[in-house]
Amino acid sequence: MSNKFNSSKLALIIMSALYLKGGHVHAGDLKLNAGVTSNAVFQQIESDSVGNRDLSTLTIEPNLTAVFRGANFTGSFNGTATHLERDNNDLSTKNNYAEYNYNANWAIVDRLFNLQASGNSRYLNTNTANYLVSDFLVNSEDLAETRTNRIAAVSNIAGSGLVAGTGSFSYTDVRTDETALTNTNRLNNETLAFVAALRNGDQARTYVWTLNGNYSDTDRSRVELGSFESENATGYIDKQVYRNWALRLTGQHESHTFIGNDSSLANERSFDSYGAGVTYRQSRGRSVSLTMNKASSSNAANDGDTFAGVAVEWAFTPRTQLAASFGKRFYGDSANVQFTHAAKHLRTSISYSEDVRNFSQLLADPEVLGVFVCPDGSAGIFDCFQPGSLNYIPQAGEQIVQIIDDNNAIEDSVILRKGGDLEIGYQSRKLMVAFYAKYINDNYLAQERQRETRTVGIKSSYNIGVFTSLTADLSFADIERESVTQESGTSENMKLKLGVTHKLTRRFDITSDISYTDQNGEIGSSRLGSNFTNKQISFGVSYRY
């Protein structure tokens, strides 16, 4: 696969054209919000590598948010520029960072065919050992500007007939600049992807069936890594035989191929299976299936195996749902679980998944299973809310967010990721509390290395009165890396931040916060090394136009 055009410019051109088209066909509502924040920051850093440092920093952050809502077009843009002026005992420096994100959706044929564009430019941490402890003020040399742009055509088939489903075709471009310390220009690629999901329509009576498939091709030739092709397909059909009981036929196909530029270094992981069993279906959204399956695998350890498969889809109430599947894939036993619960003030999400992807796909098209809905450009969850429905669809200018980002590497290796996530959010008129625990195991395919990241933390906000609020953010991360070709070891990271915000007027706020960062480990490679502490206090003002 080779694409010779600049996708960043293409995405912006298409978004502009969609905006003009949407505004021309139907009148809409354009809302603009702008503001500026300035902070004076004082730091004390103690490091085994560079000794002790005292720093003072002035930050200025103007921001702009634009949201357009029309009859057949919605779009949003959020941009923030950060200017830093820093002084220490030796020298003074100035740095500038610009970040943005955009989303656009044009309903060409309502509920049948949509054209979408999305993208962002962010400064991301490239050192996985410094997860949680790298930002514009600490370990800033770890940050690399990463740009993603995605264009997609999406089609939906209504479920009132015999067939219902969705399908999408997308093009994604991901590029990363070098950092101040190392050459991390390993994300410079393009991906074409096709995703389809079909199922029986509402008119089906004695048959229930689904068919899901996806295909992606990532061209990594610009960084001399060749291509990465991935294809997956799963399906089943249930035939009712007696009341709530049905016979099931099921099958799955999986193939992942990554090829070197000279076409001689090819690695493939593949797995196919077929089986039969029974299903108990109480109603739509409430079913349990058990099947016996025969495997054909590229892995000799499970090639020819006969194994049991279990699939559960159960809506206990309209606000509590469980979906789970257990079986085998090319690497052995596999599982996927998702549990969600939504009450008036409490929302819970528990998930576990296993998938083969590269980091470009994880950055450009992440699977978000968060419990909070936030406005574009929000600095954290304290400006967010919890929807009462499990099937809430974000409006223009909104996005569902996870409480904390994953520890993604900025490179384009192919990994088998096994990850579990727990998020619990509570929100009332005065109090917001969010607890999270996350586990990620990244196994690099065709490489002798893996990384485990365990994270736990809590965020909270309390409104003392109409004008004053307190915030707290505490997080811990334990990173363990095993490698034959790279340094192995662990890193234990912690970050604590306490803050207070007071509204002087409807548009003018003053803020103050203190924070403490601590790292102890063996695999740090930044200027501060792998053992350091950072004590920080800041005073700031913000104004909204």
Backbone phi and psi for residue 301, each to the nearest 5 degrees, phi listed first: -70, -25
pLDDT band at 276 (very low <50, low <70, confident <90, very high): very high
Q: What are 202-231's pLDDT values in tens digits?
A: 877 789 999 999 999 998 877 677 789 999
Q: What is the pLDDT of residue 372?
A: 82
* Assigned token pair, 117: 């564009």
Rounded to 10 degrees, the C-alpha dihedral 516/487/453/270 comes to 160
Lowest mean pLDDT among 53-67, 109-123, 243-257, 361-375: 361-375
- How crowded is the C-beta side of 208, counted as CA atoms within 13 Å? 19
pLDDT band at 260 (very low <50, low <70, confident <90, very high): low
Residues 6+ apart with CB under 8 A from 284: none
Residue 537 has pLDDT above 80, yes or no: yes
Residues 521-545, mean pLDDT to the nearest whole number: 90
Quote the strand ranges of 332-465, DSSP E: 332-342, 346-358, 372-375, 398-401, 414-427, 431-444, 449-463
What is the CB neighbour count within 10 angstroms for residue 418?
Answer: 18
Short-list 502, 367, 358, 490, CA closest to 421:
367
Q: What is the pLDDT of residue 461?
A: 93
Residue 131 has pLDDT above 80, yes or no: yes
Residue 194 has pLDDT above 50, yes or no: yes
Q: In whole angstroms, what is the distance from residue 231 CA to residue 64 CA?
A: 40
**How buried is residue 420: exposed, middle or buried, by Cβ count under 10 Å (0-12/13-18/19+)?**
middle
- Indicate the fold that domain 30-544 takes in CATH: Maltoporin; Chain A (2.40.170)
3-state secondary structure of 541: strand
Residue 278 has pLDDT above 50, yes or no: yes
Q: Which of 74-78, 361-365, 527-531 holds the top average pLDDT?
A: 74-78
Share of the chain above pLDDT 90, in %: 63
- How crowded is the C-beta side of 372, counted as CA atoms within 13 Å? 25
What b/e readout covers 253-283, taking b as 16+ CB neighbours within 10 angstroms?
bbbbbbbeeeeeeebebbbbbebebebebee
Q: What is the pLDDT of residue 392?
A: 79
Residue labelled with tokens 């809506």: 315
For 176, the enclosing helix (H) or strand (E) is strand 163-176
What is the CB neighbour count within 10 angstroms for residue 142?
Answer: 29
Q: What are 96-108's pLDDT values in tens digits?
A: 999 999 999 999 9
Q: What is the pLDDT of residue 184?
A: 53
**How buried is residue 203: exposed, middle or buried, by Cβ count under 10 Å (0-12/13-18/19+)?**
exposed
Lowest mean pLDDT among 124-138, 497-511, 521-535: 521-535
Three-state SS string over 458-512 comes to: EEEEEECCCCEEEEEEEEEEEEEEEECCCCCEEEEEEEEEEEEEEECCCCEEEEE
Q: What is the pLDDT of residue 266?
A: 67
Residue 352 has pLDDT above 70, yes or no: yes
For 19, the enclosing helix (H) or strand (E) is helix 7-25
Residue 124 has pLDDT above 60, yes or no: yes
Q: What are 453-485's pLDDT values in tens digits?
A: 999 999 999 999 889 999 999 999 999 999 887
Residues 362-389, mean pLDDT to the nearest whole number: 76
Residues 474-498, mean pLDDT to the nearest whole number: 92
Rounded to 10 degrees, the C-alpha dihedral 484/493/187/334 comes to 70
Residue 25 has pLDDT above 60, yes or no: no
250 contacts 291 by C-beta, under 8 angstroms: yes
Domain ranges of the chain: 30-544
Three-state SS string over 187-211 comes to: CEEEEEEEEEEEEECCCCCCEEEEE
pLDDT band at 14 (very low <50, low <70, confident <90, very high): very low
3-state secondary structure of 138: coil
Q: What is the pLDDT of residue 115?
A: 95
Residue 366 has pLDDT above 80, yes or no: no
Q: Which of 155-159, 233-237, 258-262 holds the top average pLDDT?
A: 233-237
Q: Which residue has the higher pLDDT, 533 or 181?
A: 533
Q: What is the pLDDT of residue 380?
A: 66
Q: What are 28-84's pLDDT values in tens digits?
A: 689 999 999 999 999 999 998 888 989 999 999 999 999 998 888 999 999 999 999
Q: What is the pLDDT of residue 244?
A: 93
495 contacts 131 by C-beta, under 8 angstroms: no
pLDDT band at 182 (very low <50, low <70, confident <90, very high): low
Name the amino acid, one letter, at 228: F
What is the CB neighbour count within 10 angstroms for residue 322?
Answer: 16
Residue labelled with tokens 């990594």: 220
308 contacts 293 by C-beta, under 8 angstroms: yes
Q: What is the pLDDT of residue 104?
A: 93
Q: In whole angstroms, what is the distance from residue 25 CA to residue 234 CA?
A: 40
Q: What is the pLDDT of residue 4?
A: 40
Backbone phi and psi for residue 380, each to the nearest 5 degrees, phi listed first: -170, -170
Output the average pLDDT for the chain: 88
Rounded to 10 degrees, the C-alpha dihedral 413/415/420/423 comes to 30
Q: What are 297-342's pLDDT values in tens digits?
A: 999 999 999 999 999 999 999 899 999 999 999 999 999 999 999 8
3-state secondary structure of 288: strand
Name the amino acid, one letter, at 88: N
What is the CB neighbour count within 10 angstroms for residue 392?
Answer: 14
Residues 6+ apart with CB under 8 A from 375: 65, 383, 384, 397, 398
Q: What is the pLDDT of residue 2?
A: 42
Q: Which residue has the higher pLDDT, 264 or 533?
A: 533
Q: In whole angstroms, what is the distance from residue 378 CA to residue 387 CA?
A: 17
Q: What are 394-417's pLDDT values in tens digits?
A: 777 787 877 888 899 888 889 999
What is the CB neighbour count within 10 angstroms for residue 31?
Answer: 12
**Which pTM value belongs to this model?**
0.88
Short-list 133, 128, 101, 129, CA closest to 117:
101
Q: What is the DSSP string of 53-113?
A: EEEEEEEEEEEEEEEEE-SSEEEEEEEEEEEEEEE-SS-EEEEEEEEEEEEEEEEEETTTE
